[in-house]
Amino acid sequence: MSRLERYLKLSKKHRLALVLLLPSLAFVVAFTYYPILFGMWMTFFDFFHRPITDPVYVGLSNYQQVFTDDVFWLSLRNSTIWVAASVTVTFLVGFGVALLLNEKIGPLRTLFRGLMLIPWATPVLVSGLVWRLIYSRDWGILNETLLNIGAISTPIAFLSDRTVVWPAILLFFVWSRFPFVSLSILAALQSIPASLREAALVDGANTFQRFRHVIIPGVEPTIVTILLLTTIWGFNDFGAIYTMTSGGPAHFTEILPTLAYGYTKGYGLGNYGRASVVSLVLFLLTFSVGIFYIKRVVRD
Amino acid sequence: MFVTSLKTGGDAISKDPSWIPDPLTFDAYPWVAQNLAGSFEFTFVVSVGSSFLTVFLTIFGGYAMARLNFPGKKALSIAYLAGMMFPPILIGVPVYVLFARLQLIDTFFGLILVYTSTSIPFSIWLLRGFFKSIPPSLDEAALVDGCNRIDAFFRVILPLSLPGLVVSALFSFLMAWNDTLFALILTNENMTVSVKMLFWITGWYRSTFWPGIMAGGFLAILPPVVIFVVLQRRFIQGMTAGAVKG
């Protein structure tokens, strides 16, 4: 039967639903799904130094170039280690802060919650710049302070010295991202009925036991969700590392997203084919984690 | 640590960092006004534009998701959810190519389109929650009183869900204002505030007028922080509702 007939056969309610959803759905499809498919198509073409409307079909050549490029494997390695480290540290810090905030501190709690939102709310580019300044070897506040208290004798180039650059970036990242973890866990902690905790106290449980049997079960779903989300975001995060080091020095801190950006607008100017390959790899990584998240949400 | 770096820089300061600025001047601000005005305008238009567009589109979608049941609804939720999860880069590179062909680079319109589509999934989810919290009995009452469904929607539901709409609008605004990747990829000349500042420090438009840079940073942070502080409670609710319930 023709489309029109099928449409007319839909119940009135279903027709309404279709009309209501169409605009937003169309948008999402047009600007999310379609580009992704287009991106996959692009991996088979060479765009390098060619007019953008006239790429050349090169089969798997882009893939070959990317997979034989050492920088790619370095980025991949960096991405994975970075995600593991950043997620863990952010989670631990966030959890710790949440536990602290859960104590009875009255108005202080609102104050801290507000303060904590500042790192989360500021655009990464801006807060990144501020931190770059702090880390600066020549006029950075951090070096100045360390020198003054005698902890070091010569300034450290935090962002170009390979031994300290990753921890430096990590510090910035955790500062910027932990509020989300903290606030979410705090909300979960506060939804644990006080009666439960009191009952445990009455039953003679010590702090550790209370933690294990009352708190953990209460926040477990939240924790899993947060870990999944932060992992996904960790893989995709572009701003934090790019503002700190742009992937330098000499690709040392390059991760997959910055690599893809590099192929697009940076040094490998206009190599969209290769950029798409890198993006595709990134997508596969993200997706494998994302599936778990989707499954969880769909459960209700 | 949080904001002090910005404050000290907002006034004239020498190379030796000190906590209290010695000659306290606001000279930096006119300079900022001159150099950043264009960027601010651009960023502002883009953020507001995408915010309005997002809310407008998702009102309908959110309502449908909240009230109506139809085949494929679950699949649709998954589609939206997945939409939230794709790496921006994955979308960014193709979008750049597509937009370049369509001459949408560097335009208000291009960025608005992109930001809107990235905020839509979250907004739908948010509004769906809000609509759900309005009892269906109100729908029924309106229908009984003689409205058809569309009327009922505009006269009854919409006004009630205004807080939700506001939250959604502000959140979309925030996402656009704070964005890094798309702002970098999709603009060359017309830059957003954040991008322009990045370039001040790292290269293209190298500038050493630190107080000015800091003043700019302070202004750039102002909208998001103000929005966040004002809506603290709602945001936390929004952010955590999904997480807590799994």
Q: Please, what is the average pLDDT of chain B?
A: 67
Q: Residue holding tokens 């490029």?
A: A69
Evaluate if residue A230 carries a pLDDT over 80. yes
Q: Which of A283, A35, A44 is nearest to B93 (CA)?
A: A35
Q: Quick check: A89 and A228 in contact, CB under 8 A?
A: no
Question: What pLDDT is recorded for position A82?
Answer: 85
Higher per-residue confidence, B222 vs B189:
B222
Q: How far is B231 from chain A (nearest CA, A)?
A: 10
This prediction has a pTM of 0.75
Asked if B93 and A276 come within 8 Å (Cβ–Cβ), the reply is: yes
Asked if B232 and A117 come within 8 Å (Cβ–Cβ), the reply is: yes
Domains of chain B: 25-245 (1.10.3720.10)
C-alpha–C-alpha distance, residues B244 and B232, integer Å: 17
Q: Which of A81-90, A220-229, B212-221, B236-245 has the lowest mean pLDDT?
A: B236-245
Q: Which of A26-35, B10-19, B235-244 has the lowest mean pLDDT?
A: B10-19
Q: How far is B136 from chain A (nearest CA, A)?
A: 15
Per-residue confidence at B237, pLDDT binned at 50, 70, 90?
low
C-alpha–C-alpha distance, residues A199 and B85, integer Å: 41
Question: What pLDDT is recorded for position B78?
Answer: 77
Higher per-residue confidence, A266 vs B89:
B89
Q: How far is B66 from chain A (nearest CA, A)?
A: 10
Per-residue confidence at B216, pLDDT binned at 50, 70, 90?
low
The CATH code that applies to domain A76-245 is: 1.10.3720.10
C-alpha–C-alpha distance, residues A144 and A142, integer Å: 5
Half-sphere exposure of B240 (CA within 13 A, CB side): 23
Asked if B240 and A188 come within 8 Å (Cβ–Cβ), the reply is: yes
C-alpha–C-alpha distance, residues A213 and A203, integer Å: 12
Evaluate if residue A283 carries a pLDDT over 80. yes
Interface predicted TM-score of the whole assembly (ipTM), two decimals: 0.71
Nearest to A39 among B93, B232, B240 (CB): B93
DSSP H/E element including A131: helix A124-135
Question: What pLDDT is recorded for position A210?
Answer: 66
Q: Is A281 exposed, middle or buried (0-12, 13-18, 19+ CB in 10 A)?
A: buried
Question: What pLDDT is recorded for position B28?
Answer: 55
Asked if A183 and B236 come within 8 Å (Cβ–Cβ), the reply is: yes
Question: What pLDDT is recorded for position B6?
Answer: 47
* Greatest distance between any 2 Cα atoms in chain B: 73
The distance from CA B162 to its chain's CA centroid, rounded to whole angstroms, is 18
Residues of A within 8 A of B184 (CB-CB) are: 261, 265
Please compute the mean of the pLDDT values over residues B185-212 and round it to a whole number: 57
Evaluate if residue B182 carries a pLDDT over 80. no
Question: What pLDDT is recorded for position B37?
Answer: 66
Q: What percent of chain A has pLDDT over 70?
A: 72
C-alpha–C-alpha distance, residues A237 and A285, integer Å: 13
Task: Suggest the residue from A6, A14, A27 to mutate for an interface test with chain B (most B CBs closer than 10 A).
Answer: A27
Tell me which residues of chain B, numbers 38 to 57, contact chain A at a CB-CB cutoff of 8 Å: 57
Nearest to B180 among A25, A133, A238 (CB): A238
Q: Quick check: B181 and A238 in contact, CB under 8 A?
A: yes
Evaluate if residue A8 carries a pLDDT over 70. no
State pLDDT tens for residues B31-51: 666 666 667 777 777 788 888
Q: Which of A138-142, B15-19, B99-103, B138-142 has the lowest mean pLDDT?
A: B15-19
Q: Quick check: B213 and B9 in contact, CB under 8 A?
A: yes
C-alpha–C-alpha distance, residues A94 and A175, integer Å: 10
For residue A247, count other CB atoms closer than 10 A to its CB: 24
Tell whether B233 lies on the interface with A, counting CB pairs under 8 A: no
Question: What pLDDT is recorded for position B235?
Answer: 53
Residues of B within 8 A of A52 (CB-CB) are: 97, 100-101
In Å, what is the CA distance from B208 to each residue of A64, A131, B16, B32, B119? 43, 16, 14, 13, 36
C-alpha–C-alpha distance, residues B162 and B59, integer Å: 11
Contact pairs from chain A to chain B, CB under 8 Å: 261
Residues of B within 8 A of A19 (CB-CB) are: 60
Question: What pLDDT is recorded for position B146?
Answer: 65
State pLDDT tens for residues A184-220: 787 777 777 777 777 777 776 666 666 676 677 777 7
Higher per-residue confidence, A139 vs B5:
A139
Please compute the mean of the pLDDT values over residues A36-49 and round it to a whole number: 76
Question: What pLDDT is recorded for position A20?
Answer: 72
Residues of A within 8 A of B178 (CB-CB) are: 121-124
Higher per-residue confidence, B128 vs A8:
B128
Higher per-residue confidence, A237 vs B203:
A237
Question: What pLDDT is recorded for position B40?
Answer: 73
C-alpha–C-alpha distance, residues B112 and B48, integer Å: 9
Q: What is the DSSP letter of A158?
A: T
Tell whether B36 lies on the interface with A, counting CB pairs under 8 A: no
Task: Suggest the residue from A122, A145, A243 to mutate for an interface test with chain B (most B CBs closer than 10 A).
Answer: A122
Question: What pLDDT is recorded for position B7?
Answer: 46
Evaluate if residue A1 carries a pLDDT over 60. no
Query: By CA distance, what is B218's nearest residue in A?
Result: A126
Query: By CA distance, what is A219's nearest residue in B?
Result: B244
Per-residue confidence at A152, pLDDT binned at 50, 70, 90?
low
Evaluate if residue B8 carries a pLDDT over 70. no
Nearest to B117 among A31, A141, A294 (CB): A31
C-alpha–C-alpha distance, residues A130 and A132, integer Å: 5
Residues of A within 8 A of B211 (CB-CB) are: none
Please compute the mean of the pLDDT values over residues A165-170 and round it to a whole number: 81
State pLDDT tens for residues A52-79: 666 777 777 777 777 877 778 888 888 8
Question: What pLDDT is recorded for position B9?
Answer: 46
Q: Quick check: A276 and A39 in contact, CB under 8 A?
A: yes
Q: Which of A29, A64, A33 is nearest to A273 (CA)?
A: A64
Question: What pLDDT is recorded for position B21?
Answer: 45
C-alpha–C-alpha distance, residues A177 and A199, integer Å: 35
Question: What pLDDT is recorded for position B210?
Answer: 60
Per-residue confidence at B232, pLDDT binned at 50, 70, 90?
low
Per-residue confidence at B244, pLDDT binned at 50, 70, 90?
very low
Q: Please, what is the average pLDDT of chain A?
A: 75
Give the domain ranges of chain A.
Answer: 76-245
Evaluate if residue A80 carries a pLDDT over 80. yes
Please compute the mean of the pLDDT values over residues A122-140 and round it to a whole number: 73
